């Protein structure tokens, strides 16, 4: 359970960064768990924030936002968790992930209440989701499972606006 708690804490921080920046750019489609895929670091099972359309150069701050959110929420970034983001940015721009960190940080800072509420919701939702998967046969799981919807994030955004 401690490993699961750590997994949820770290991945919810990372994905909250992606979700925040993508939502603000009207590009967020949902947060999914892909049990049959392997992460860039070889770990089975992937948490993925999906975009509404194929990624492009303009999404690079969103890729960097995972790294930025880890620093904000955890105090440090795990380079292995950012491997896929690094590869995406390199493929799209030929630049490094860190080049887009200032833009990501500025977007997050513009709406910190939303970022904080979204992180709490993501952490809670991922905890429930993964605890329910404990002991289940991963081979029998579907290809993808939705963890958070666009409607969930829109609700959180409205709630954050009402608290300002």
pLDDT digits (tens, 9 = 90+) for 2-30: 688 999 999 999 999 999 999 999 999 99
Note whether 17 and 69 are within 8 A (CB): yes
User: Who's near 157: CB < 8 A, 6+ residues apart?
Assistant: 23, 114, 118
- Band the pLDDT of 1: cuts 50, 70, 90: very low
| Every domain of the chain and the residues it spans | 2-162
- Band the pLDDT of 164: cuts 50, 70, 90: low
């Amino acid at each position: 359970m401690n490993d699961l708690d750590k997994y949820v804490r770290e991945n919810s921080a990372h994905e909250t960064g992606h979700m925040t920046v993508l939502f603000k750019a009207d590009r967020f489609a949902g947060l999914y768990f892909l049990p049959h895929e392997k992460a860039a670091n070889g770990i089975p099972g992937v948490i993925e924030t999906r975009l509404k359309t194929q990624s492009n150069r303009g999404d690079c701050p969103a890729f960097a936002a995972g790294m930025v959110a880890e620093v904000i929420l955890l105090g440090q970034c795990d380079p292995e968790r950012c491997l896929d983001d690094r590869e995406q940015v390199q493929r799209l721009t030929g630049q490094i992930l860190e080049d887009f960190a200032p833009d990501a940080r500025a977007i997050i800072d513009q709406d910190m209440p939303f970022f904080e509420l979204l992180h709490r919701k993501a952490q809670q939702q991922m905890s429930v989701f993964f605890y329910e998967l404990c002991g289940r046969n991963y081979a029998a799981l579907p290809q993808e499972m939705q963890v958070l919807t666009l409607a969930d994030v829109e609700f959180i955004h409205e709630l954050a606006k009402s608290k300002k």
